[in-house]
Structure 1
Amino acid sequence: MKAYQTLLYYCYSHIEDAEQYAADHLKFCKNLGLTGRIIIADEGLNGTVSGTVDQCQKYMDYIYADGRFNATEFKIDEVDEPSFMKMHCRYKAEIVHSGLRDPNIINPTKKTGKHLEPVEFMEMKDRDDVVILDVRSNYEHKMGKFKNAVTLDIDNFRDFPAMINQLAQYKDKKILTYCTGGIKCEKASALLLHEGFKDVYQLHGGIIKYGKETGGKDFDGKCYVFDNRIAVDVNSVNPEVVSVCYNCGTKTTKMINCANPECNEHFTQCEECGWKMDGCCSDSCKEHPRKRPYDGTGYYVKVPMPVNKKDITLA
């Protein structure tokens, strides 16, 4: 067993005075010594936290002891070191930004697609009457996706509602939605049902759980994750690298942020092009006066912003 763990989780459950809860939540995490990124909203919580095995167990106990979050399912990864450098806990309007804020229209606690366990998803995904729908952003599915999955040209999940018309051709099919951990599918599947799609499903626990319980069969590439690891292996059955270098087109699994802070484009880049381009996506970014020093990782710590009620950060 490794010394540290990383927990990925979410729960849709109404929180009274969520702003105050975010402050209290941060204080608990700070005292526990965890690092991570947590979003708190009136509709629930969404987070990835990292710490020692004991710290992570105490955090899970804390979540379940609350009573409101009993439906939380933690995806647990063993890691060699914490997956974050700091602890962030923010209050926002949604726990995943979609723009779908009217609970009378989209409410994951009341109506979503049918949840499929990983084995069920694996058994259904290749049927002729099924369409596999990736609801993640471009940079995520370029890193890895299920074979034959339909992907959407979106930069953020908030762009998903505008793509519904493009999916109308699949209304007579069974729609199997998937994302990293399940949270985006809760609203994506609910929206599809609201828009008249009749047979909508979602991969319970997302790609991460699928990898742990099925060996990740037919998931090509790596799964993008929102922590310092950037991407993790999923498929131990029939793995294949699908992501390519933005600059030269060779296959690579390395993803970075452009060293030009005014660009900050999230893109895949091979080691050779990384050093050649000094961590930049283009020659113009390479010449930018504010370009950050490239150390081979392409990871840059954000400059801390002033703390306010809605952006609570532990430096």
Structure 2
Amino acid sequence: MQLYNKLSAKERETLIDEAGEDRLTLSFYAYAKIGNPHLFRNHLFIAWDQMDVLGRIYVAHEGINAQLSVPAKRFEEFKKFIDNIYFLEGVRLNIAIEHDAKAFLKLKVKVRDKIVADGLNDSTFDVTNKGVHVDALKFNDLISDPNTVLVDMRNHYESEIGHFQGAIKPDVDTFRDSLPIIENDLKDYKEDKNLVMYCTGGIRCEKASAYYKHKGFKNVYQLEGGIIEYARQVEKQKLENKFIGKNFVFDHRRAEQISGDVIANCHQCGKACDTHVNCANEACHLLFIQCEECAEKMNNCCSTDCMEIAALPYEEQKALRKGKGNSNKIFKKGRSEVLKYKS
């Protein structure tokens, strides 16, 4: 019985091209108490592999976080399977605004300690005691209220290319970094301010809303379904769109256009640009913003050093990496001294 992906990304890409079928990009999450995450993980992989589902899924004792690509013709089958799992029945499926058949090229279902790493070790913290969910209309009303503090629960490289007007945007690399910073910065507002949060699809806000309630904040709200669902509701209901720029997403698309505004800059020349790329030097792989002109000039690299390495034959590049650990830059997002115009 197959329990792990056996095809390479290139092999899967070829199969997708040959099939020529539409695929839906979607995500969902649920906080729940899962007794045996490993058994649940295997159950999901077996079923989804048979449905030709691709994506990145994390399972933990605290729940599930899934980002997927599903064949359009098998969506109803997929939905029925989800609804037959007691804590996933009727779960919100955040279907992408823009679809790409190659958004994901493998099915990866992994067991983690937590579905959202938070750095917390507090047995009294109940992640299910969440804040109030609000839709796009209520969200717009709340953030127009001078008694509201709006917080972006995403990381710096996400908010750099798009965010809600007037939001506090912590300059952090990870979700766990943001929790204590926001708590300290807003400690004087626990009793009398509306604390309103948003993120990509809702999963980080839900944990954050429970955390800040746990820390004594009285009026805690989160944007239900995150930016993805907000954009859908704004379009459907013809509401005022208060999000400017792009929504960063964690698949091969890297972003969805929400408004026509370009609010970021190329990290190499400073020109208006909001296109994230990874450095072509596989030993670097730095995520940064690069315009088309710089991509051509720098051969899709972040620095001249990386250009020299990327220009070498593949076997020579491989030999240089042999026996060495990954560069620290692989795990950094737009933070490098070689990027003159980084945010």
TM range (shorter): 0.7 to 0.9
How far the C-alpha of 1:57 sits from its partner, in A, is 2.4
* Residue aligning to 2:68: 49
Query: Matched residues, percent identical?
Result: 36
2:183 matches 1:173:
no
2:64 and 2:313 map into 1 onto residues whose CA distance is 33
* Residue aligning to 1:86: 106
1:148 and 1:61 map into 2 onto residues whose CA distance is 40
Match among 72, 75, 87 for residue 94 of structure 2:
75
* Residue aligning to 2:11: none
1:3 and 1:16 map into 2 onto residues whose CA distance is 36
2:86 and 2:211 map into 1 onto residues whose CA distance is 28
How far the C-alpha of 1:210 sits from its partner, in A, is 0.2
Which amino acid is the alignment partner of residue 139 of structure 1?
Y
1:13, 1:69 within 8 Å by CA — same for their partners in 2?
no
Q: Report 1 or 2 for greater relative contact order, CA contacts < 8 Å, sequence distance ≥ 6.
A: 1
Shifted more, 89-98 versus 176-185: the winner is 89-98
* Residue aligning to 1:298: none
Which amino acid is the alignment partner of residue 59 of structure 1?
F
1:259, 1:291 within 8 Å by CA — same for their partners in 2?
no
1:90 and 1:112 map into 2 onto residues whose CA distance is 25
Match among 270, 273, 279 for residue 252 of structure 1:
273
1:7, 1:56 within 8 Å by CA — same for their partners in 2?
no
1:50, 1:56 within 8 Å by CA — same for their partners in 2?
no
Shifted more, 120-129 versus 163-172: the winner is 163-172
2:256 matches 1:229:
no
* Residue aligning to 1:141: 159
Shifted more, 132-141 versus 247-256: the winner is 247-256
How far the C-alpha of 1:104 sits from its partner, in A, is 2.2
1:180, 1:225 within 8 Å by CA — same for their partners in 2?
yes
Unpaired runs of 5+ in structure 1? 294-315
1:152 and 1:117 map into 2 onto residues whose CA distance is 23
- Structure 1, residues 287-306: CA drift from partner, whole Å, max 9, x if none? 3479898xxxxxxxxxxxxx
1:292 and 1:140 map into 2 onto residues whose CA distance is 34
2:64 matches 1:40:
no
Distance 1:51 1:291, change over 3 A: farther
Which amino acid is the alignment partner of residue 158 of structure 1?
R
Match among 190, 201, 213 for residue 210 of structure 2:
190
Q: Secondary structure at the match of 1:119?
A: helix
1:48 and 1:260 map into 2 onto residues whose CA distance is 27
Which entry has the higher C-alpha Rg, 1 or 2?
A: 2
* Residue aligning to 1:286: 307
Q: Secondary structure at the match of 1:79?
A: coil
* Residue aligning to 1:296: none
How far the C-alpha of 1:194 sits from its partner, in A, is 2.1
- Structure 1, residues 159-192: CA drift from partner, whole Å, max 9, x if none? 1223121333544421110000000001111222
2:144 matches 1:126:
yes
1:273-312 alignment, distance < 5 Å: 273-288=294-309
1:66 and 1:292 map into 2 onto residues whose CA distance is 50
Which amino acid is the alignment partner of residue 122 of structure 1?
N
How far the C-alpha of 1:75 sits from its partner, in A, is 1.1
Shifted more, 137-146 versus 278-287: the winner is 278-287
* Residue aligning to 1:217: 241
How far the C-alpha of 1:45 sits from its partner, in A, is 0.7
1:178 and 1:289 map into 2 onto residues whose CA distance is 38
2:122 and 2:70 map into 1 onto residues whose CA distance is 35
How far the C-alpha of 1:283 sits from its partner, in A, is 2.7
**Given the two structures, how large is their TM-score scaled by the length of structure 2?**
0.78
Q: Secondary structure at the match of 1:66?
A: coil
Q: Which has the higher helix share?
A: 2
Match among 124, 127, 130 for residue 112 of structure 1:
130
How far the C-alpha of 1:197 sits from its partner, in A, is 2.0
1:176 and 1:23 map into 2 onto residues whose CA distance is 37
Which amino acid is the alignment partner of residue 24 of structure 2?
Q
Shifted more, 254-263 versus 139-148: the winner is 254-263
1:18 and 1:290 map into 2 onto residues whose CA distance is 44
* Residue aligning to 2:175: 157
- Structure 1, residues 215-249: CA drift from partner, whole Å, max 9, x if none? 370211100111111100223xxx31112111111
Unpaired runs of 5+ in structure 2? 1-20, 315-343
Q: Secondary structure at the match of 2:150?
A: strand
**Given the two structures, how large is their TM-score scaled by the length of structure 1?**
0.85
1:39, 1:92 within 8 Å by CA — same for their partners in 2?
yes
1:292 and 1:224 map into 2 onto residues whose CA distance is 33
2:161 and 2:312 map into 1 onto residues whose CA distance is 25
